[in-house]
Amino acid sequence: MARLSQTPRPAGSVEDARALEYMREVVEATGRFVVEESSFEFQRYLADHWSLEVDGDEVECAFALCSANTPRGGVEGELCRSDERDLEGKVALLPIREVHESAAVERLARRGAVAAVAYKEDGPTLVGRVTYPRSSIPCVTVSGRVGASLWHGRRSKPPKAEIRLRARIENASGTNLHAVPRNGAPRTLFTAHRDSRPLSPGAIDNASGSAFLLFLAGQGAQGFGLLSTDAEEYGLRGAWAFIETRGSLQKKTDVVNLDSIGSGPLRLIERSRGGPLSRTLNSKLDSAAREIGTRLPRLTTPRGSDCDVFREAGHRACWVRSWPTPTATTLEDTVAHVREGVLCQCSRLLRVFVEASSC
């Protein structure tokens, strides 16, 4: 995991390509898989400049992936809380709670906000993602501490905020890595996205899932395949590209998605943004958990992941993740926040699950 999360590796970047090369080398070295790469096109977002000032004071911030540009002079407006009734012409302060930031920012735009300042209430500065490929209004993010201070601060008059954000969108190429067992068609496909958000080292999201693909590659059991997707942070582009080009993937192939593991306790996602996930696969994972003397609580989340794509394509799909994950998708998503005990638990769980599925 440390090798994969030394630097941010947004899809289409040099760092992403290095992670891909490393993963291919490790999987091929096992001699158990036929490994192939497949490329696809997507629209990559590159920010050149971003800043936030509140009443003339510069506030440390990050950009939200896929944010709209601001005019040359920036966007100015009264900074108000997103729960206020009148947002017309204002910069809205947005705590990220139950709704994904992409949907929340678009709601603010429909209510007349000209920009958004988002923050994750329980953690460091979020590297948010708004609507792909470009949101309706610009959005920057601040730390939970700064966001809470602005939200609860009392002033004689509303503060003025100015956001400057200069970015561009360009065509780019992403690459999926697919490993098929040499002994025949897989009954189960383990998938994890490889890319991180810009600025974020992406240890938990999702060097963790990628590391577990490499762990599984070294297991002696057969009957499963591995898929490392790219551009998940751009709206699951890699998973969609895989489905579109791999029509031969049998519908009866089960898909186990590994995304954001290693900080909070392990959970099984009952329902994600795409809808309900497979009860059958969750039950199988429950059985594996009981065998290692633990349990996996269920979780419903507004977040999405590659499992949503496979579910829509007709596969039984599930998602294993940790929760809570306060540093995931933030500037501080490093291995320092990974809990070794959670990784060990997941390793044991996957080993037992694979052995049971191979029988």
**DSSP symbol at 126:** B
Look at strands 33-54 and 57-59 and give their pairing: antiparallel
* Pair 339, 327: CB distance under 8 Å: no
Residue ranges of the chain with per-residue pLDDT less than 70: 247-248, 359
| Short-list 134, 90, 139, CA closest to 112 | 90
In DSSP notation, 143-193 reads -HHHHHHHHH---SSPPEEEEEEEEEEEEEEEEEEEEEETTS--SEEEEEE
Are the beta carbons of 121 and 97 closer than 8 angstroms? yes
User: What residue type is 193 in one-letter code?
Assistant: H
Report which of 156, 163, 150 is spatially closest to residue 58, judged by C-alpha positions: 163
CA distance linking residue 154 with residue 299, whole number of Å: 36
Of 138, 144, 150, 151, which Cα lies nearest the Cα of 125? Answer: 144
Predicted local distance difference test score (pLDDT) of residue 184: 78
Beta-carbon contacts of residue 299 (< 8 Å; ≥ 6 apart)? 267, 268, 269, 270, 321, 323
Question: Which pTM was predicted?
Answer: 0.95
Q: What is the pLDDT of residue 248?
A: 57
The pLDDT of residue 146? 96
- Which pLDDT belongs to residue 247? 58
Beta strands 275-276 and 266-272: pairing type?
A: antiparallel
pLDDT of residue 216: 96
Q: Give the integer Cα–Cα distance in Å for 234 and 59.
A: 27
The domains of the chain, with CATH numbers, are 14-44+171-358 (3.40.630.10), 45-167 (3.50.30.30)
| Separation between Cα atoms, residue 269 and residue 272, nearest integer Å | 7
Tokens representing 254 are 């089960």
What amino acid is encoded at 252 in this protein? K
3-state secondary structure of 102: helix
Query: Alpha helix locations (H) across 181-221?
Result: 208-217
239 with 232: CB under 8 angstroms? yes
Amino acid 359: pLDDT: 65
